[in-house]
Amino acid sequence: MTGLHGACRLASNSLLEAMVYAARAADDVQSAGSSRPNHVAPWYAGEASSPDEAVVVSHNWDEIRRLMWNYVGIVRSDRRLERTLRRIELVKDEIRVRARSAGLLPEESRGSGPHKLKPHPRPAPCAAVTRRPPGEGP
């Protein structure tokens, strides 16, 4: 029993073993020589996504779930609902910014948000449509 993977891995024998393994590994590296290839192909990540994005999505999902559980559950108050709404708006803005920077959203959208929108053109009124005062229906 070497103790390298055992319960006594910090005992003096294990430290001595670590020194012996390190010396042997250094000798093997020196005797191996250089066996590097002449050309290394560039790295191709394929369809892999950034793990950073997965962490952000997971965090936002967990935050919204906890907000709903803690503040919009059976026991509610106006103060809790307002806090939840403010926090969800911040998360929504963060998601919108990330989606735009990833090219998933155009710079301008017709959805709700703090940005200025171009007004929709209104159709010309039709001559056949007449307005009646309230209560004077057919």
Instruction: Give start and end residues of each alpha helix (H) in the chain.
Output: 12-32, 51-71, 78-101
Annotated domain spans of the chain = 57-101
CA distances from 18 to 6, 15, 124 (A): 13, 5, 86
The CATH number of 57-101 is: 1.20.58.100
Read off the pTM: 0.40
What pLDDT was estimated at residue 121? 56
Q: How sure is the predictor about 107, in pLDDT bands with cuts at 50, 70 and 90?
A: low
Q: What would the pLDDT profile of 42-76 be if each residue is shown by its tens digit? A: 888 787 777 777 788 888 899 999 999 999 888 88
**Hey, what are 65's tokens?**
């779930």
Please say if the pLDDT value at position 27 is more than 80: yes
Output the CA angle 36-37-42, nearest 5 degrees: 115
